[in-house]
Structure 1
Amino acid sequence: MSTEVRREIRLIEEEDGWWSAIDEEIGVASQGSTREEALDNLDEAVDLTREAREDDTPAPEPDAPWFDA
């Protein structure tokens, strides 16, 4: 039995020759000058997004005078 996680990714070659990689389930997109670079960048963005969501720490209180009530 495989423990591999399956993901559906959209890979698009843009008009300017760059590539976009999109993971709509996670809600993350990235780009690169090659398909491989776009996919590598997407993997990194997905990992960082998952880490941030797991941390789920509250936002800091605003520290600017225009936020005073």
Structure 2
Amino acid sequence: MSTDINGPDDEDVTPPVNISLSLGESGDVWVARDKDTGVTSQGQTREAALENLDEAVAGYHGAGESPSDETLQEMGINPEQNTPKSLDESDVFQ
């Protein structure tokens, strides 16, 4: 499990410490869940699941970079309409 997670402005983001790790129902992936945030991730191995969880929790805490306009366009998103708002205000998550 990675412990070198950095947040915005290189502030350290605490990696998940209260986790559950289990084999998924299909038996071919491992599922890791941070019990404090509810963030869940998976991987082909236990180690991969934990590393993916570290990255997902860092994203939950705001780490990472915004996608470029080109990346958004490749995904079919108009960059001019890509503005942050809560999930409650989103037309996508209803």
Trace 1:1-69 onto structure 2 (pairs within 5 A): 7-14=17-24, 15-51=26-62, 59=85
**Structure 1 residues 50 and 5, CA, compared in 2 at 3 Å: closer, same or farther?**
closer
* Aligned-residue offset at 1:27: 1.4
Letter in 1 for 2:58: D
Letter in 1 for 2:45: T
Larger radius of gyration: 1
* Aligned-residue offset at 1:6: 6.9
- Dislocated runs of 4+, deviation >4 Å: none
What's the TM-score once normalised by structure 1's chain length? 0.64
Structure 2: gaps spanning 5 or more residues: 1-13, 64-83
Letter in 1 for 2:19: I
Structure with greater proportional strand content: 1
2:15–2:57 Cα contact (<8 Å) kept? no
What's the TM-score once normalised by structure 2's chain length? 0.48
* Aligned-residue offset at 1:7: 1.4
CA root-mean-square deviation: 3.1
Structure 1: gaps spanning 5 or more residues: 53-57, 65-69
Identity, in percent, stands at 43
Q: Distance in 2 between matches of 1:22 and 1:35?
A: 12
2:15–2:54 Cα contact (<8 Å) kept? no
